Amino acid sequence: MTAMLEPISELKLEGITKRFPGVLACDGISLQVRRGEVLALVGENGAGKTTLMNIIMGLYRPDSGSLFVNGEEVHFRTPGDAYARGIGMVHQHFMLVPNMTVAENLALGLKQLHHFMWLDIKGAARRIREVSERYELPVNPDAYIWQLSVGEQQRVELVKTLCLGARLLILDEPTSALTPQETDDLIERLQRMASELAIIFISHKLNEVKALSDRVSILRHGAVVFNGHTVNHEPAELAALMTGHEVTLPRNEGTGRPGKPLLSVKNLCVRGDRGNLVLDGLNLELRAGEILGVAGVSGNGQRELADTLAGLRAVESGEILFEGQNLANCSPRAIIDAGMGYVPEDRQTEGIVPSFSVKDNFILKDFASQQFSKLSFLRRREIDRHADQLKAGFDIRCPSTSTATGALSGGNIQKVILAREIARGPKALVAVYPTRGIDMGAQEFIHSQLLDHRRKGVGIVLISEELEEVMNLSDRIAVIYKGKILKTLPAVEATRERLGILMAGLTDTDSPPEPAASALPSAGAVHE
């Protein structure tokens, strides 16, 4: 890290190939990125993007192919080697030690601060202040990581990487855990920083790619299938190249006739993890055969609402009437048996048991039913048949239904959950961030499934931060703010601007004022 080499101005990859047992993760990939340039690397989950970046960082060794920095061939064995040549990476899952401060996290990597029996923690803090001022990325060096919001942690990662001397930044899906506000903020900061750095930006959100990058390369099945200048191509075109076919996210055409009332939530009050009232007199009405979108800045009670509807959180007061039956404070089992389906926010820890096979995850809610067990023995043949049917019906890509579910990609895990919930024939479905962090192909599939079941009369509560998603799918949109539904409006009347104003907590008049260029709400309502 102390090497006095000339700063990196160009990175070139030639014919990089990497095999894992049974998979060709990278197949002769050649790429190039220069200073002052943002290269977007786009591809579906499992296309080989992250493997390629781990090769650049020296975490994996390529089977063949070469890396060149400023035209000179390099061989990285550890991330330290890559940093020594000015290449740094911000990983999708943050590489920060939560019980240490920001300065301590940086000090881990800055070997010049390591003295015998003494750690120059002030030096680390000084370095952080310098870099955070220079790039306008405010961070407090003395804060503990666990105290910071996801957006702040993202900033810490950027500052840390820059402090370590990186002049070529690799950002692996940096926005996947951010709220829309934090995403806009990050994109803006990156645009400012781009002139003096080289950036490789990995994403499958094409609007971000469009907003930030100069050039775009598309990976499919481990190979580069497209290189081009971003300005010349529309997102739809890139999406088609990425998935190998035309992608048009389906829309709710609004032809459904709203059915009888299914679920009505009355004056619901619920406490959050810190004991404060997070839902404070919330009212909600869902009819059969409609999708009710719940939009809002995260932290306004969405998680608690979903938890409560699934029976995972105690109700302080109020009612949850489901076909006339009050489900408030009922056990999850009773709620499941009443016909409520649930697609939870955190698919890895709440949606599935990661170490269980796909077929076992399919029967998590029904293992004791007549269909899957007899005299308290599992009926394996029936379980296999059921699993094969769902695997085919939901296009779940896994080697077999005996594979551990945690080893699948995010999109496929989400399909497993959705398949389980829909196969049970629910009357109502609560779906929380159903497409967060998953690629276009899977997203398209999940959206059309939701619309399909809406047509079949299922009532769906869709909680999401993606305004596009909410607006595309919903019949009505309820805006949640500080634990209350601020307003419910028909989807046809909703615009991005109008929802943005409502999400910021301003009750609009029926004719909204002229919106600002990017009228997303300020982060003022975020409690996290």
Partner 1 sequence: MNPGVMTFNVLCLAVPFSVAILLAALGENFNQRAGVFNLGCDGIMCMGAFVGFMLPYFLKAGPMAPYGNLLGLAGALGVGAALGLLFALVTVTFGASQGIAGIGLQMLGWGLSGTLFRHFVGGVTGVEGILAMPIPWLSRIPFLGGVFFNHNPMAYVAFLLVPASWFLLYKTPWGLKVRAVGTHPRAADTMGINVVRTRYQALMLGGAMAGLAGAYLSLAQAKMFSDDLVAGRGFIAVALVYFGRWSPLGILGGALLFSIAQSFQLSMQVWGIKFPYEFAVMLPYVLVIVVLALARKARQLGPTDLGKPYNREMRF
Contacting residues toward partner 1, per CB under 8 A:
1, 57, 59, 78-80, 83, 89, 91, 94-100, 104-105, 107-109, 111, 113-115, 117-119, 146, 164, 354, 406-407
* Of 103, 144, 155, the residue nearest 124 (C-alpha): 103
Smallest gap from Cβ 288 to partner 1, in A, equals 38
Smallest gap from Cβ 69 to partner 1, in A, equals 18
What gap in Å lies between CA 439 and CA 413, rounded to an integer?
Answer: 12
Q: Are 109 and 164 in contact (CB under 8 A)?
A: yes
Give the DSSP letter of residue 465.
Answer: S
Smallest gap from Cβ 165 to partner 1, in A, equals 12
What gap in Å lies between CA 505 and CA 521, rounded to an integer?
Answer: 8
User: At 101, which amino acid appears?
Assistant: T
Specify the pairing of strand 38-42 against strand 215-220.
parallel
Smallest gap from Cβ 295 to partner 1, in A, equals 31
Neighbours of 72 (CB within 10 A): 11
Mind spelling out the 3-state secondary structure of 76-93?
CCCHHHHHHCCEEEECCC
For residue 121, the Cα-to-chain-centroid distance in whole angstroms is 34
* Of 451, 504, 507, 454, the residue nearest 286 (C-alpha): 454
Nearer to partner 1, 185 or 350 (CB): 350
Smallest gap from Cβ 81 to partner 1, in A, equals 9
Nearer to partner 1, 65 or 80 (CB): 80
Across the strands, what pairs with 286?
A: 263
Tokens read off for 399? 């080697």
Smallest gap from Cβ 523 to partner 1, in A, equals 24
What gap in Å lies between CA 409 and CA 357, rounded to an integer?
Answer: 14
Nearer to partner 1, 410 or 500 (CB): 410
Nearer to partner 1, 3 or 97 (CB): 97
Nearer to partner 1, 60 or 322 (CB): 60
Smallest gap from Cβ 128 to partner 1, in A, equals 15
